[in-house]
Amino acid sequence: MKFETKAIHIGEEPNLSQGGTGDVVIPIHLSTTFARKDVEQPTGRYEYSRTGNPTRRALEKRLAALENAQFGLAFASGMAAEATLILSILKSGDHIVAFDDLYGGTKRLFNKVFRKFGIEVTYVDARDPENVARAVNQHTKLFWMETPTNPLMKLCDIKEISEIGKEKNIITVIDNTFMSPYFQKPLDLGADIVIHSTTKYLGGHSDVVGGAIMLSNQKLFESLLFNQNSIGAVPSPFDCYLVLRGIKTLAVRMQRHAYNAQKIAEYLEHHPKVKKVYYPGLPSHPQHDLAKKQMSGFGGMLSFEIDGTLTDAKIFLKRLKIFAVAESLGGVESLIELPALMSHTSIPAKEREKLGISDTLIRVSVGLEDVEDLIDDLENALAG
Ligand code: P1T
């Protein structure tokens, strides 16, 4: 089955057997517990809804199919997926090598939560895989990468980094939130684990918070499954339904997100009040060739530098009428934000500066509105 077909059907096949209802949309199974005939074992597949739930199961099957994975697990948020993953795989004294440009909340989780439990992280510029290899020590257990990164749209070579990981017995985790499985499949490129904030493109409508992990390694899956139940950061059946529903249109949405983002990136690149545009679909992006190699499209996220001060950036944001000034991304509506004051405030100012997250860096999640309306909105706001 091709991607679009899997995105609509896997996990939601109508039950046409004797007694089956033939629903084409899976019911939202609200029951928290499942009765059994025999006290010693569950009668059906399910016993308690934290452990397993039919609506969640449908979502998990679909999530796995999208990333060409054997297994999928759904969580209550992207952060819940990340925390469960770390708790499942690492122990005190272990070490992570991570991309230096990550979602601020991921860095906060590493630096402020897991460091307290003796898990160390070295951040490197993973655009050069050599930097990743050099940071490995005898305790390194994980490589943690986003590509493209949030918010600077830096890429890392998934294949090369995964190969380094395999050589050294280190697990490679790729946060694939920005590309979605429609444009990039890290497991096919050699990564061990893919993680998503399903709050973003998979949900697609800014109405559900969720997370996911996809992988094919049975042993790691069993450990994650055990901890999904033990820690219990699971999504509600209604949340699972919303993500299942969102995924059905993922392919068409991603195509339009990318089309609109390319047009906007090209427009901004020629604007005299814009210093720099970061979008992997632009030939001026320093890793455009890598983008073409490992992605099948360039996605709906971009960022740019306004030529001016923080005040100019704030005035620009205030003048916008269609773009909502809001954190998050990946929904049908266009969102815009200032990472230094919003999504990345948990990174200290000095570190932000070093990474290139300046006070005038603007991040855009390009939505599905008419692109001419979006460009007009930007034009008016930049003219102010
Ligand atoms: O928000 P949550 O579903 O818990 O997902 C966390 C997360 C993980 N990974 C990436 C790449 C992300 O972008 C996020 C969440 N990001 C935002 C809320 C944001 O505005 O960037």
CATH 3.20.20.70 fits 3-247, yes or no: no
Closest atom of ligand 1 to 200 CA is: 3
Q: Where in the chain is the domain with CATH 3.90.1150.10?
A: 251-383
Q: Is the pLDDT of residue 346 over 90?
A: no
Please choose, from the candidates 321, 320, 282, the residue with its C-alpha nearest in 3D space to the C-alpha of residue 302: 282
Atom of ligand 1 nearest to the CA of 102: 11
Ramachandran angles phi, psi of 106, nearest 5°: -70, -45
User: Looking at ligand 1, which residue's alpha carbon is closest to its atom 19?
Assistant: 328
pLDDT at res. 161:
98
Ligand 1 pocket: which of 176, 177, 361 to mutate (most atoms within 8 A of CB): 177
* pLDDT of res. 302: 98
Q: Answer yes or no: is the C-beta of 327 below 6 A from any ligand 1 atom.
A: yes
Task: Label the pairing between strands 211-215 and 193-197.
Answer: antiparallel
Q: Is the CB of 197 under 6 A from ligand 1?
A: yes
Q: What is the pLDDT of residues 169-204, one digit of tens each?
A: 999 999 999 999 999 999 999 999 999 999 999 999
Give, for ligand 1, the residue of 200, 234, 347 to mutate: max count of ligand atoms closer than 8 Å to Cβ. Answer: 200
pLDDT score of 133 more than 80: yes
- Homologous superfamily (CATH) for 251-383: Aspartate Aminotransferase, domain 1 (3.90.1150.10)
pLDDT at residue 347 tops 90? no
Distance CA 74, CA 268 (A): 37
Task: Give the whole-number percent of the chain exceeding pLDDT 90.
Answer: 96
pLDDT at 6: 98
What is d(CA 68, CA 178) in angstroms, rounded to the nearest whole number? 18
Residue 384, pLDDT above cutoff 80: no
Q: In what order do the strands lie in the sheet with 95-99?
A: 71-75, 211-215, 193-197, 171-175, 140-146, 95-99, 120-124
Taking the mean position of all CA atoms in its chain, how far away is CA 324? 21
What pLDDT does 195 receive?
Answer: 98
In this structure, what token pair is assigned to residue 312? Answer: 């100019």
CB of residue 199 inside a 6 A radius of ligand 1:
yes
Whether 323 and 336 have beta carbons less than 8 Å apart is answered as yes
pLDDT of residue 73: 99
DSSP assigned state of 234: P
Task: List, by residue range, all CATH 3.40.640.10 domains of the chain.
Answer: 3-247
pLDDT tens string 253-271: 999 999 999 999 999 999 9
User: In three state form, how does the secondary structure of 259-303 look?
Assistant: HHHHHHHHHHHCCCCEEEEECCCCCCCCCHHHHHHHCCCCCCEEE
The answer to whether the beta carbons of residues 243 and 210 sit under 8 Å apart is yes
Residues forming the active site: 50, 103, 175, 200
Query: Which atom of ligand 1 is found nearest the CA of 198?
Result: 3
pLDDT tens digits, one per residue of 40-93:
999 989 999 999 999 999 999 999 999 999 999 999 999 999 999 999 999 999
> Ligand 1: which of 144, 150, 206, 341 to mutate, most ligand atoms within 8 Å of CB?
150
Q: How confident is the model at residue 343 (pLDDT cuts 50, 70, 90)?
A: confident
Please write the tens of the pLDDT for every residue from 67-76.
999 999 999 9
358 lines ligand 1 (CB under 6 A): no
Mean pLDDT of the chain: 97
Residue that is written with structure tokens 């091709």 in the block: 2
Written as six digits, the tokens of 76 are 């209550």
- Beta strand pairing status for 140-146 and 324-325? unpaired
What confidence tens digit (pLDDT) does each residue in 205-255 have?
999 999 999 999 999 999 999 999 999 999 999 999 999 999 999 999 999
CA of 22 to the centre of ligand 1 (A): 36
Report pLDDT for 108: 94
Give the per-residue pLDDT at 372: 98
**Can you give the pTM of this predicted structure?**
0.97
Q: Predicted confidence band at 272 (pLDDT cuts at 50, 70, 90)?
A: very high
348 cis-preceded (ω within 30 degrees of 0) = no
How far is ligand 1, taken at its centre, from the CA of residue 211, in Å? 9
Q: What is the pLDDT of residue 12?
A: 96
